Amino acid sequence: MTQLDETIKNIQNNVHFKTIRRGIIFLFGCLILLTGMVMIFLPGPSILVIPLGLTILASEFVWAKKLLGHFKNGTHKLGKILTHSTASGSQALNREIEEAGKINGQK
């Protein structure tokens, strides 16, 4: 092991290094998360930026990992709801078109 490797290992094992690293990740993740929240009201891809901020925070914090899991579950449920409502909406639209054709004597 070279002296550089030993120095890097000592720095990584240092409590202050871990605390500073965790603080930087917290600040950066919160900045990205808040930017995504602002993008809900302003133009921007908030649906992409919010999970990115949570992912950054989840690399160090358990609470962020749980929140990211809830976010993923919510988007899956929303996707199922939208898919279901779109499918039933298109079926209803097809029925209306068929009925309109019958009324006009086209069938």
What average pLDDT does the chain have?
81
Nearest CA-CA partner of 30 in 73, 64, 80, 74: 64
- Within 13 Å, how many C-alpha atoms sit on residue 52's CB side? 12
How many structural domains comprise the chain? 1
Predicted pLDDT of residue 54: 92
Give 25's pLDDT tier (boundaries 50, 70, 90): very high
Q: Is the pTM of this model over 0.85?
A: no
d(C-alpha 54, C-alpha 39), whole Å: 15
Residue 48 has pLDDT above 70, yes or no: yes
**pLDDT (mean) for 25-40:** 95
Q: What is the domain extent for residue 34? A: 3-103
d(CA 64, CA 27): 13
Lowest mean pLDDT among 20-34, 37-51, 88-102: 88-102
Residue 45 falls in which region: left (phi positive, over 0), alpha (psi -120 to 50) or beta = beta
- Cα separation of 6 and 94, whole Å? 71
Q: What's the pLDDT at 31? A: 97
